[in-house]
Structure 1
Amino acid sequence: WSHEPRRDYTNLPGGDYVFRVQARNAAGLIFDSEPLAFRVQPPYYLTPLAWSIYVLAAVVLLLLSARLGQRMRERKLLAQQQVLAEQVAERTAEVRAQAREIRQISDARAQFFANVSHELRTPLTLTRGPLQELARIGGDRLDDELKQYLNVALRNSEAMQSLIGQILDLQRLDAKRMPLKLIEVDLALIVRGIVDRFAVQARLRQIELSCEGADKPLRLVCDQAHIDTMLSNLMSNAIKFTPDGGKVEVRLTRSEKHIELSVSDTGPGVDPADQQAIFERYRQGEQTSASSPGTGIGLALARELAELHGGRIGVESQPGKGACFTLKIPTDLQPNAAASDPPEVVETPAMAAHEPSEQDIDELSSEDVPCVLLVEDNAELRAFLRLRLGRSYRIEEAADGAEGLQRARELIPDAIITDGLMPVMDGLTMTRQIKNDPELAFVPVLMLTSRAAPEDTVRGLEAGADDYLAKPFDSAELAARVAGLIASRRRLKARLEDAGSSTAEANELSITSPFMVQVDAVLDDHLSDPRFTVRDWADLLHMDRTTLFRRLKGETGQSPEEYLFEKRLQAAARLLTEGAGNVAEVADAVGFVSVSHFSRRFKERFDTTPAAFAQHGNS
């Protein structure tokens, strides 16, 4: 109880309240008052609206926090992705650089092998050439032991030549410059020939060599040269690893879709771990490389050539039980354009004659000794060729193309033999300039070169070379080709002389076919231009030099240079007969830049001087 007339209540929380009071009077009696209900309003920050705002703010904060966290995670992920991308790019660049370096190393290695192979062709020529001459000239005077030594040297020089060719084949495969020349051949005949080629080597080591399934003709469309390379490599591999007294068996069979060539031996075999590696370039089986080292080229080339045919090559072997290599070539190949329509390479008499005939020898010996200009930068090869050809010809020499061109203009030789690759001026450039020179265009050019690919041959012939011979060459074949070139020029000269010295008789040689009418029309328009070349002539006829050579040779029996030279002389004879001018004016009118050269060639053609011819024609 308290004796207070009033009571204050402060800081009451908001809410509904009931106020009850009991009072006591003076007599001590207690009275209850009526309860008083009242409500205390909460502060504004505790109102439902405020709580709604608080909840909404909390939700917004949560959403913002989640979004901020997501953005932070995204930024972190982006940073990680950027780091990973940079690492991947850096690693990719490293891998590409390594791949590029590996490719450059591989290309450099292949180019090195190719360059070395080209460089080896000249010393190999100087090795094989004297050996062949020794066997050809002194073979009858050698005893059996020396003959065996000589045969061993010749066989190994041929093996080196084959290896050089295979290295260059690999380079052409890499460059995709080895098209298939598919023709139909008798595969059985090819197989028998290759087996016979290895018979002597097998007999020397008492290896039993047998061939089954090649006794009857077996037609197949394939690239004959590639088949020869593949089977020769398999045979060489088998004989190399077969011990003395062992056995090598070649079997030829035909199935519905393939022709199978298998070569089995009784050698040490191939470890299963090496059976794939031996078909890779420059790789060999571990167990065989130490005892029979090689280059790791033969089987790799065989596999790539087989795949080029759409075929395959494989091996079945167990260590110590020999090996069987099987080559499968599909039977559905068709002859292609490369085989049915070969490059327009015209066969000259020198190409057709691999040995000089008695008639050629008589023709060459019945007149003054012909002059042959030898253009070669290798002094030893020049010395060997001078020794070999000096028996029949007067040999003049030049060490590079520029000197060769100068010497040719001084000598006007009967034939020129030139290397392809030389300092100062190469053989192709020299040949073009010779064929574009009216005073030298008729001189036959035989090109010797270490570049033996078909496209190299075409380039040489398109440059104007009359013949092309790859190193290493047989010196007897070279002599035969030179004799053929010189003899063909002299036969042509004799035919023209037999036709008579008058222009009327000479005109009997002309051909009136539509092609020749067009040829003569172009020629007549440019006959007086001393700079007019066969290449210009071909361009005006809308054909290349090779096509012009082939068609003109077929129509007239003459090369473009010979025909151009003959037409100029015929025109000169006509002008002299008509009294159209003096000798110098006529020479200039028909495209000769030198009166002395014109007079000399005119006399060779008509057996009289231009002045005498003009006097006779006007009398």
Structure 2
Amino acid sequence: MFINYLKERRSWILLFLLLQFLLVFIAYIDSAVSIQSILYYVFLSALLFVIFILIRYQKEMKFYMGLKEAEDLLDFSDREQLSPFEGMVAESITYHFETLKKSVSKSERRLDQEKDELFSWIHEVKTPLTALKLMIDRIEDQALKREMTYEWLRIHLLLDQQLHQKRIPFMENDLYIEQTDLESVIFGEVKTLQSWCIQKGIGFDIDLEYNEVMTDAKWLAFILRQLLTNAVKYSDASDIQLKSAEREGQIILEIADKGRGIDSRDLPRIFEKGFTSTAHHQDHAATGMGLYLAKQAAEPLKIRIDVESAPGEGSTFTLTFPKSNEFVQITGM
């Protein structure tokens, strides 16, 4: 920091050196002036100048260090001890910071209000959506029933995705880590997608060597919902395989489909928000949110999601669950 201060005050230092050099030069060319006296004066001047620099460094850097530390940014209680310029800087920073803080506070209140209104709207929409499902179940025309069930499911999944998207930033407050039965979670999600899978001729091959994992069941279900929805959406008549195993002391769950696959150039970007595809860029059904939200929900649970895929050969998503000692980071216990 002292080096930076010297660089900032180099004009002072250069001026002082220039004046001392000029004085010595005059004594050198003027025999009437004693060179020894001038050198003695230069020595004393240099000593006083160094002391002056050190004093100014202590005084000025106290102010600038306060600016550097964010927590002390507005601690100008001793403003009367500041120089006029420092006082101007302190006043300007305080004004702009207070203005910014008010603006942020206002934006946060507005966002909280919009979030609450959205949550309220989603829950209100769920009521007629549930009634609509009951009405669809009473339809006798099976072809019409399948088509309307599929459209109902699309609305249901979009609402669910929107609801969880707003909850993810606060999901750590909603976590409940416990021994979770993989089979019940998987079958619950498969049952939700049943009508869609029947329409497309898609089945499920489930082989769970390990059936229990430590995680949050509700958020795990959401992650699986995004991955299974993605697999069904981009697959034709085939089986989606789900199997669990142990790898390097950790439980893994693989979800493999025989769909259209993912181009190698797209693989690094599939978890980015809004990214759909470069190979199928005209696919208007893709929102680019499912995998992004799955990744966002997996991070607080310490679940790693990996993917292997090739165009025309399908995709395999692997969920690697954390070891037991990693839950200390999740629960804080």
* Interval containing the TM-score (normalised by the shorter chain): 0.5 to 0.7
1:134 — aligned with what? 135
1:63 — aligned with what? 43
User: Residues 85 and 241 from structure 1, CA distance in 2 versus in 1: closer, same or farther, beyond 3 angstroms?
Assistant: farther
Measure the CA separation in 1 of the matches of 2:42 and 2:248: 78
1:442 — aligned with what? none
1:162 deviates by: 2.2
CA contact (8 A) 2:266 2:277 kept: no
1:285 deviates by: 4.0
- Give the 5 Å matches for 1:17-56: 54=34, 56=36
CA contact (8 A) 1:258 1:331 kept: yes
User: Residues 127 and 149 from structure 1, CA distance in 2 versus in 1: closer, same or farther, beyond 3 angstroms?
Assistant: same
1:228 deviates by: 1.6
Q: What is the TM-score normalised by the length of structure 1?
A: 0.36
Measure the CA separation in 2 of the matches of 1:102 and 1:271: 41
1:63 deviates by: 0.9
> What secondary structure does 2:321 align onto?
strand
CA contact (8 A) 2:305 2:319 kept: yes
Amino acid at match of 2:275: Q
Q: Which residue, 236, 239, 261 being the options, matches 2:229?
A: 236
How many pairs does the alignment contain?
A: 273
1:260 deviates by: 0.8
Measure the CA separation in 2 of the matches of 1:172 and 1:73: 51
> What secondary structure does 1:309 align onto?
coil
2:199 — aligned with what? 204
1:249 is aligned to 2:251: no
2:122 — aligned with what? 120
2:307 — aligned with what? 315
1:196 deviates by: 4.8
- Give the 5 Å matches for 1:369-388: none
Amino acid at match of 2:274: R
1:325 deviates by: 1.8
- Give the 5 Å matches for 1:98-497: 112-113=114-115, 115-129=117-131, 131-135=132-136, 138-139=138-139, 142-173=140-171, 176-182=172-178, 184-207=179-202, 209-214=203-208, 218-242=211-235, 244-245=236-237, 248-255=240-247, 257-265=249-257, 266-269=259-262, 272=265, 275=268, 277-280=269-272, 282-287=273-278, 290-318=282-310, 322-330=314-322, 332=324
User: Residues 85 and 181 from structure 1, CA distance in 2 versus in 1: closer, same or farther, beyond 3 angstroms?
Assistant: closer
CA contact (8 A) 2:303 2:319 kept: yes
Q: Which runs of 5+ in 1 are unaligned?
A: 1-50, 337-619
1:161 deviates by: 4.2
Measure the CA separation in 2 of the matches of 1:146 and 1:164: 27
Measure the CA separation in 1 of the matches of 2:261 and 2:243: 20
Amino acid at match of 1:58: I
Q: Choose between structure 1 and 2: higher helix proportion.
A: 2
> What secondary structure does 1:279 align onto?
coil
User: Once the two structures are superposed, what CA deviation does each residue of 1:333-387 show, in whole Å capped at 9, x if it has no partner?
Assistant: 7999xxxxxxxxxxxxxxxxxxxxxxxxxxxxxxxxxxxxxxxxxxxxxxxxxxx
User: Residues 178 and 71 from structure 1, CA distance in 2 versus in 1: closer, same or farther, beyond 3 angstroms?
Assistant: same
User: Residues 296 and 83 from structure 1, CA distance in 2 versus in 1: closer, same or farther, beyond 3 angstroms?
Assistant: farther
CA contact (8 A) 2:146 2:199 kept: no
User: Once the two structures are superposed, what CA deviation does each residue of 1:464-507 show, in whole Å capped at 9, x if it has no partner?
Assistant: xxxxxxxxxxxxxxxxxxxxxxxxxxxxxxxxxxxxxxxxxxxx
CA contact (8 A) 2:182 2:212 kept: yes
User: Residues 101 and 324 from structure 1, CA distance in 2 versus in 1: closer, same or farther, beyond 3 angstroms?
Assistant: farther
User: Residues 334 and 55 from structure 1, CA distance in 2 versus in 1: closer, same or farther, beyond 3 angstroms?
Assistant: closer
Amino acid at match of 1:230: I
Measure the CA separation in 1 of the matches of 2:217 and 2:170: 17
Q: What is the TM-score normalised by the length of structure 2?
A: 0.60
**Cα RMSD after superposing both structures:** 4.8
2:82 — aligned with what? none
Amino acid at match of 1:255: R
Q: Which runs of 5+ in 2 are unaligned?
A: 1-30, 74-88, 329-333
User: Residues 317 and 134 from structure 1, CA distance in 2 versus in 1: closer, same or farther, beyond 3 angstroms?
Assistant: closer
1:270 deviates by: 5.3
1:55 deviates by: 5.6
